[in-house]
Amino acid sequence: MRLTFLGTGTSTGVPSIGCECETCLSDDPRDKRLRASILVEHDGKKILVDTSIDFRQQALRAKIKYLDAILITHCHADHVFGLDDIRPLNFRHGAMGVYADELAWKDLRRIFKYVFEPTHVGGGLPQLIPHVVFPKAKFNIGRDLEITPLEVIHGKLPVMAYRFNDFAYATDLKFIPPDSMDGLRDLKVLVLDCVRIRPHSTHLCLEEALEIIAELKPKKAFLTHMNHEILHQRDSKLLPENVFFAYDNLVVESD
């Protein structure tokens, strides 16, 4: 399995508009963070998790030519506002499956009403095939890729984390229910939310993320959805040897 971090930033991205902090002024490319998204490739299948607000830029940078499916974690703007930019892929390859839970579909149909209730002819619309996912209800894309949705809590909002065989992606969360914790054990790679060093009301901070990693014991863990308070080179010294800050364009291979 091959994982590409398309974006590792929080909702404002890094650098943040108008900010002159050390991270926002950094020349280190690992401190340049588009909004959070990941590309999963396995056995010829390409799966995107979240159509971030930066999806067009991410897709061009990663040279994405087709997608077999899109998984949605939740419906906040930074995670779904790039959905319209799947259209060029539709033009070449037709409609694609989009997977989300019932709550996310309710919001997607409201936000993108023009897609689901078109009022005019012409002007190209995203072509998608809706699929509803449920926590712990496994499904497959392709022959060998088993996907398990797992519910995590982002403030008060249920969010879908996704397990792909022995890799998992869990972003935008403050709490992981016990049954979802059980679904995240025995992993080779865990990607986990970590918005900043100090505590946050709806996201994991560094200490909380490291506590979860210590309990789950994945072989490797990568932290994502980071804001501008995290400076990659400086703050990497705070991490255990099997935990890393992810960065845009990072590719991880998981056999």
**Strand 167-170, strand 189-193: pairing:** parallel
Lowest mean pLDDT among 96-100, 121-125, 167-171: 121-125
Q: What is the pLDDT of residues 9-51, one digit of tens each?
A: 999 999 999 999 999 999 999 999 999 999 999 999 999 999 9
- Decide if pLDDT at 123 tops 80: no
CB 81 within 8 A of CB 103: no
pLDDT grade for 254, boundaries at 50, 70 and 90: confident
C-alpha 52/C-alpha 71 separation (Å) is: 11
C-alpha 65/C-alpha 182 separation (Å) is: 36
Query: For the residues 136-163, what does the mean pLDDT come to?
Result: 96
- Decide if pLDDT at 76 tops 90: yes
Task: Spell out the residues 6+ positions from residue 90 whose beta carbon is closer than 8 angstroms to its own.
Answer: 96, 124, 126, 127
C-alpha 233/C-alpha 30 separation (Å) is: 8
- Decide if pLDDT at 83 tops 70: yes
In this prediction, residue 118 carries a pLDDT of: 86
Q: What is the pTM of this model?
A: 0.96
- Decide if pLDDT at 255 tops 70: no
For residue 196, the tally of other CB atoms under 10 A from its CB is: 18
**Strand 37-42, strand 220-224: pairing:** unpaired
C-alpha 75/C-alpha 90 separation (Å) is: 21
Q: Which domains does the chain have, with CATH numbers?
A: 2-253 (3.60.15.10)
Query: For the residues 81-92, what does the mean pLDDT come to?
Result: 96
**Strand 167-170, strand 157-164: pairing:** antiparallel
Give first-to-last CA distance, the chain, whole Å.
Answer: 6
C-alpha 65/C-alpha 76 separation (Å) is: 25
pLDDT grade for 124, boundaries at 50, 70 and 90: confident
Query: For the residues 181-201, what does the mean pLDDT come to?
Result: 98
